Amino acid sequence: MIEPSNRSTALRLIPRNIATAFICLGLMLPAFGQQPFQTLLVGVDHRTVTSLNGDWHYLVDQSPAHALYTRNGAINDKSYAMNDHPNIVGKHNEEYDFSNAPTLKVPGDWNTQVPQLFNYEGVLWYQRDFDAQPKAGTRTFLHIGAANYRSHVWVNQKRVCDHEGGYSPFDCEVTAVLHAGSNFVVIAVDAARLIDGIPSVGIDWFNYSGITRDVSLVTVPEAFIDDYDIHLAHGLRFEPGNTELTGYVHVLDAPAGTSVTVDIPEAGAKATVKTNAEGNAPFSVKATKLILWSPESPKLYKVSLASGDDKLTDDIGFRDIRVDGTRILLNGKAIFLQGANMHAEAPIRGGRANTDQDVATIFSYLKDLNANFVRLCHYPHDERMTRTADRDGIMVWSEIPNWQGISFDKPEVYAKDVVMLNEMIRRDRNKASVILWSVSNETPNNPTRTKFLINLANEARRLDSTRPITSALNSAHIEGSTATLNDPFADALDVIGINEYIGWYSGAPEDADTMQWTLPQKPILMSEFGAEAKYGNHGATDQRWTEEQQVYVLQHQLAMLNKIPQVRGTIPWILMDFRSPTRNIPKLQDGYNRKGLISEDGKKKQAFELFQKVYKEHSVGKAE
């Protein structure tokens, strides 16, 4: 186990490591796009912030996006970012004007807000004014929950940051460019898919674009708490009486010896520690009483952190998750994961899920299904999801968007991945509900990807040694009635996810009945299986696209899964139908992947009832 203090130091060394890797390989650091991991404030949703959600002006910068890119592909800092206004008489400026431009709601994908932008995957510029009253001795950050896919941000005409990655938060420090009174921010978001992006160009979900999550201004003292990790001490084995809480609080730009207090009154735990030369304050404290977090009792504690003038209070649960042989143990007890997959798709209204209402509806479906687990596909979802999972007692698989083919041979893609992994783990490491970090989904079994992903899995362990690492593999070789997983990447995983579609993409549903699986002696989660059905389409069990056939496929799957001794979780694909531009069968798909147990407008298919009953009766799978 890596000591917390070292873990956090390691995390902060990443930028230098990435830079060094680039230099050693004789590569230039990218001119734009993914920057080395930058300040990322943890617990922003538990701070008092100034929301910049609301109406933002927008202008479309169609390909080749002359306003954003110069002829040689560099970022143009002198065009729309200037936000000056047309000068019809006198010197002529570029022909744009935000002040009279239409508006988009932030957060929100642009696709579902403006019909003409439904299929747009290019550059769009956002602008809004805001008031600020900066105070001496404070710093201000612009926090962006997520913007898909590349973002370039200017405040008062100065570029403050660039970010690549559509599903994780980033912060841009704006202290030096803010002034008292009216300020403005301009953000160019480029949604173009990139071969060397993560994900790459081919995806089976809708590329909802734009500023899709909350935006806020966060004001903090000069030295402030940017990161913390507070968890139940994770020793070699689970000790039932363990009440030791450990971790670190990092105070950015604090001189060594700065005092930090961690106070959890309800658990009777309080520690005052000092920062080291890196601003990190590792701590360990015994709680006098502790109720461990579990789905049955999702207990969260108010955890107050304070250092100098900075303080915040988070809601954190404490639990132990680990693998023992083929078992997954939560607080020492073997568990079976009754799950479902879910994309970040808003039920009923459609679009990217990013509101309290979207999240409440998704969790009401999970509860109704009697699920205790959700795989959040295929990228980190809005933080409301993991917050709600914490409160509702639903365990979570969280994943970075390494989906199928990405450029595994490119060091710069690895560098992007490390940043995305950092961003995911850093935002959610204090969420008790998150029990698994997944580094990929359905990647090709070849030495280049194996080396890449083994390194990434080890990187995840270096960042967080308290959670098992997983990945969804589709590399099982199925022939006749045998299915064998022979993928060297599986050796590097703690929990193995297997995606297979017997009865839909391959073979007949009944093939599952006699399938003999040869699998590693590790916990196995059937991370995807299913069939498509259009809600309300009825017919015989051998008639594709009917609800009856979907149920039939799933029933045979369940019979098969019940016979595999090390299966520790069932995660049907997928809780709800979701938009995917590759699903083009009119009348049946109409642009939706229809493997949902529920339709996109909230209607429960027969397959939902099947799982609802199976999960209620616990009639599939064994915890040990």
**Residues forming the site for ligand GCB (CB under 6 A):** 204, 378, 441-442, 474, 499, 528, 573, 593, 595
Closest approach of ligand GCB to the CB of residue 550, in Å: 12
DSSP letters for 427-459? HHTT-TTEEEEEEEES---SHHHHHHHHHHHHH
CB-nearer residue toward ligand GCB: 322 or 378: 378
Residue where the block lists tokens 């339709």: 599
Closest approach of ligand GCB to the CB of residue 378, in Å: 6
CB-nearer residue toward ligand GCB: 568 or 595: 595
**What phi and psi, each to the nearest 5 degrees, are found at residue 490?**
-60, -30
Q: Which of 289, 296, 239, 237 is nearest to 264 (CA)?
A: 289
Alpha-helix residue ranges (DSSP H) falling in 265-382: 356-368
Question: Rounded to an integer, what distance in angstroms lies between the CA atom of residue 533 and that of residue 543?
Answer: 10
Element holding 228 (H helix, E strand) = strand 224-232
Closest approach of ligand GCB to the CB of residue 526, in Å: 12
Closest approach of ligand GCB to the CB of residue 344, in Å: 13
Closest approach of ligand GCB to the CB of residue 442, in Å: 5
Distances in whole angstroms, Cα of residue 181 to Cα of each of 55, 129, 130: 19, 10, 8
CB-nearer residue toward ligand GCB: 388 or 593: 593
Cβ pair 574, 530 in contact under 8 A: yes
Closest approach of ligand GCB to the CB of residue 441, in Å: 5
Question: Rounded to an integer, what distance in angstroms lies between the CA atom of residue 531 and that of residue 548?
Answer: 10
Instruction: Please report, as a single letter, which amino acid is at residue 16.
Output: R
Q: For 279, which DSSP code?
A: S
Task: At 475, list the tokens.
Answer: 């590399």
Closest approach of ligand GCB to the CB of residue 500, in Å: 9
Peptide bond preceding 149 in cis form (omega within 30 of 0): yes
Closest approach of ligand GCB to the CB of residue 263, in Å: 43
Closest approach of ligand GCB to the CB of residue 594, in Å: 9
CB-nearer residue toward ligand GCB: 142 or 553: 553
Question: Rounded to an integer, what distance in angstroms lies between the CA atom of residue 119 and that of residue 122?
Answer: 9
CB-nearer residue toward ligand GCB: 420 or 463: 420
Closest approach of ligand GCB to the CB of residue 576, in Å: 12
CB-nearer residue toward ligand GCB: 231 or 378: 378
CB-nearer residue toward ligand GCB: 437 or 573: 573
- Is 342 in a helix, a strand, or coil? strand
CB-nearer residue toward ligand GCB: 441 or 537: 441
CB-nearer residue toward ligand GCB: 298 or 350: 350
Closest approach of ligand GCB to the CB of residue 298, in Å: 29
Q: For 255, which DSSP code?
A: P
9: Cβ contacts below 8 Å, ≥ 6 apart: 278, 280
The C-alpha angle 445, 447, 452, rounded to 5 degrees, equals: 95
Question: Rounded to an integer, what distance in angstroms lies between the CA atom of residue 15 and that of residue 35?
Answer: 9
Cβ pair 95, 84 in contact under 8 A: no
Q: Which of 150, 142, 146, 145 is nearest to 124 (CA)?
A: 150
- Residue 362's CB is within 10 A of a number of other CB atoms, namely 28
Task: At 611, list the tokens.
Answer: 């799982």
By beta-carbon distance, which residue lies closest to ligand GCB? 204
Q: Which of 4, 11, 9 is nearest to 422 (CA)?
A: 11
CB-nearer residue toward ligand GCB: 226 or 528: 528
Closest approach of ligand GCB to the CB of residue 501, in Å: 7
CB-nearer residue toward ligand GCB: 162 or 399: 399
609: Cβ contacts below 8 Å, ≥ 6 apart: none
CB-nearer residue toward ligand GCB: 227 or 417: 417
